[in-house]
């Protein structure tokens, strides 16, 4: 089923049209990414509006929609009202999670249709990926794996975290990433105890852990991985904590399959960390789903009661963070299948010690 047909299937007595304003929903429906625009989906017809910067690309690549140019004479409000009249629309479902209050107030004032919050139904299809979407994510992850392999040769004592981050960005882009899935995290030494630490001027030293959390964006889809590596040597405690995190991740991946809940998978990893005495130092959820956005619903956390389905794709990233000392996180991305999962992250997970 084409994605636009999925959107058409949620039209009912509550709404007879969808107003797609976010880049993600427009891309999902059109199966092509345009930076700016608005789309309307109805059973009587579908239209996609964008401006002169993108109109040629949109007209050449988008199917299933009538593509029209927005300009001063034909602002979005007029184009939308024309479609509302032409298609006999009375109510439009909109994406309340992506629309600002100001945008909503403007639409309510200018459009000749009632607006109904409809994000849950518009979003619902994205959690289970189509085969072509999974292929894009495998490619994004392949680029990310290559970047990690190259990064192992670039870590040197005396570099700053920011310098290492710059190298990482370059490795992603030169190996085929269209962009970054998110701002990479590159932290070292005691800064690794902060799960989302910001790269700074700290100088890398022998005996440091370095945590790198990064991902390529490819054809509109995200990769995400984390590796923690050591520089020069590790202490006994560093090695112990690393191995506990790896054991927790390995066990939770083994427990991952369609039909189990996100909380069950999270609990599998969390129990191993807690039994080792580090329970208070694993504060975040085990994993999040991803796709066009790096964080999507559902997820694998203590609150994740939704059962996983074949085609869902989720991160696997337990961690232990000891404030003021160090932290360890290991992250892969897995695709749920009926009888298990496919791990699309192929970088090694053994404790790597670079010479630096």
At 326, phi and psi to the nearest 5?
-170, 170
Paired with 191 in beta bridges are none
Give pLDDT tens digits for 167-219: 999 999 999 999 999 999 999 999 999 999 999 999 999 999 999 999 999 99
Among the candidates 126, 161, 189, a domain finishes at 126
What lies within 8 Å, CB to CB, of 91 at 6+ separation is 14, 15, 16, 17, 113, 114, 115, 116
* 199-219 CB burial, b ≥16 within 10 A, e <16: beebebeeebbbbbbbbbbbe
Same domain, 12 and 147: no
What's residue 120's pLDDT?
92
| Residue 111 tokens, joined | 């459009």
Q: Report the alpha-carbon distance of residue 319 to residue 227 in Å, rounded.
A: 11
Region 243-253: mean pLDDT is 98
Region 317-341: mean pLDDT is 97
Same domain, 177 and 29: no
Give pLDDT tens digits for 95-121: 999 999 999 999 999 999 999 999 999
Same domain, 316 and 218: yes
What's residue 201's pLDDT?
98
What's residue 2's pLDDT?
84
Same domain, 215 and 305: yes
Region 141-156: mean pLDDT is 98
Give pLDDT tens digits for 24-57: 999 999 999 999 999 999 999 999 999 999 999 9
Same domain, 174 and 97: no
Give pLDDT tens digits for 221-234: 999 999 999 999 99
Region 55-83: mean pLDDT is 97
Same domain, 49 and 30: yes
Same domain, 11 and 84: yes
| Residue 68 tokens, joined | 């029209």
Same domain, 25 and 146: no
Among the candidates 126, 159, 177, a domain finishes at 126
Integer CA distances (angstroms), 129 to 2, 3, 17, 289, 339, in order: 12, 11, 24, 11, 17
Same domain, 43 and 182: no
Count of all residues that appear for the chain in the document: 356
DSSP letters spanning 294-335 = SSEEEEESTT--SBP-TT-EEEE--EEEETTTEEEE-BEEEE
Give pLDDT tens digits for 282-325: 999 999 999 999 999 999 999 999 999 999 999 999 999 999 99
Please confirm whether the linkage preceding 298 is cis (ω < 30° from 0).
Answer: yes
| Residue 151 tokens, joined | 């990064």
Average pLDDT of the chain to the nearest whole number = 97
In this structure, the number of other CB atoms found within 10 A of the CB of residue 154 comes to 14
Integer CA distances (angstroms), 99 to 105, 199, 221, 235, 327, in order: 10, 31, 22, 49, 37
Number of domains within the chain = 2
What's residue 272's pLDDT?
98
What's residue 253's pLDDT?
98
Among the candidates 65, 100, 126, a domain finishes at 126
Range of the domain at 245: 131-354
Q: What angle do CA 210, 215, 217 make, to 5 degrees?
A: 160
Same domain, 107 and 140: no
* CATH code of the domain containing 107: 3.40.350.10
What's residue 72's pLDDT?
96
Same domain, 102 and 137: no
* CATH code of the domain containing 273: 3.90.230.10
What's residue 187's pLDDT?
98
Q: What is the pTM of this model?
A: 0.94
């Amino acid at each position: 089923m084409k994605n636009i047909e999925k959107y058409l299937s949620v039209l009912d007595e509550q709404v007879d049209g969808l107003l797609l304003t976010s880049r993600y929903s427009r891309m999902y429906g059109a199966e092509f990414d345009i930076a700016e625009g608005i789309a309307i989906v109805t059973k009587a017809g579908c239209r996609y509006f964008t401006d002169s910067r993108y109109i040629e690309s949109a007209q050449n690549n988008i199917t299933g929609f009538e593509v029209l140019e927005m300009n001063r004479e034909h602002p979005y409000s007029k184009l939308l009202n024309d479609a509302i009249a032409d298609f006999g629309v009375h109510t439009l479902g909109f994406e309340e999670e992506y629309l600002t209050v100001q945008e909503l107030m403007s639409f309510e004032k200018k459009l000749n249709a009632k607006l109904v919050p409809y994000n849950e139904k518009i979003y619902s299809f994205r959690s289970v990926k189509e085969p072509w979407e999974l292929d894009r994510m495998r490619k994004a992850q392949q680029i990310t794996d290559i970047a990690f392999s190259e990064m192992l040769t670039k870590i040197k004592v005396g570099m700053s975290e920011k310098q290492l981050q710059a190298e990482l960005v370059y490795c992603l882009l030169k190996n085929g990433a269209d962009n970054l899935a998110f701002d990479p995290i590159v932290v070292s030494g005691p800064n690794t105890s902060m799960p989302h630490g910001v790269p700074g001027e700290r100088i890398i030293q022998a005996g440091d852990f370095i945590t790198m959390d990064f991902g390529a964006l490819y054809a509109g889809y995200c990769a995400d991985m984390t590796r923690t590596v050591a520089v020069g040597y590790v202490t006994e405690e560093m090695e112990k904590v690393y191995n506990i995190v790896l054991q927790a991740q390995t066990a939770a991946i083994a427990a991952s399959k369609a039909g189990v809940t996100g909380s069950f998978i999270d609990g599998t990893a969390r129990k191993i960390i807690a039994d080792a005495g580090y329970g208070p130092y694993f504060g975040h959820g085990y994993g999040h789903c991803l796709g066009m956005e790096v964080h999507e619903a559902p997820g694998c956390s203590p609150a994740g009661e939704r059962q996983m389905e074949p085609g869902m794709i989720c991160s696997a990233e337990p961690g232990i963070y000891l404030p003021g000392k160090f932290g360890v996180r290991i992250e892969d991305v897995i695709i749920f299948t009926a009888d298990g999962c496919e791990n699309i992250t192929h970088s090694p997970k053994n404790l790597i010690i670079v010479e630096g």
